[in-house]
Amino acid sequence: MTDDDRLNLEINAQAKFASDALPKRTDVSKLVPALAREFPHRSSEQILLKMKHVWKDSGLYWNAD
């Protein structure tokens, strides 16, 4: 399994957690640093974009401020 595969699995797991917590918003800015430490092959900005894509596709909302 590649690092990108593992990262995608983790992002999807976080999206599932956020979905289970509806209707709350998830503060993805708090999740990105932890994922960036675990997946250093991607920048924080790339991870944030991936998270936003998955969240949007899952019908979730986020705070990124």
The model's pLDDT over 14-62, given as tens digits with 9 standing for 90+, comes to 888 887 876 667 788 888 999 999 999 999 999 999 998 998 888 888 8
Q: What is the pLDDT of residue 20?
A: 80
Q: What is the pLDDT of residue 23?
A: 61
Alpha helices in 21-43 (DSSP H): 28-38
Q: What is the pLDDT of residue 39?
A: 95
pTM: 0.67
The residue ranges of every structural domain in the chain are 3-62
Residues 7/47, Cβ–Cβ less than 8 Å = yes
Residues 54/15, Cβ–Cβ less than 8 Å = yes
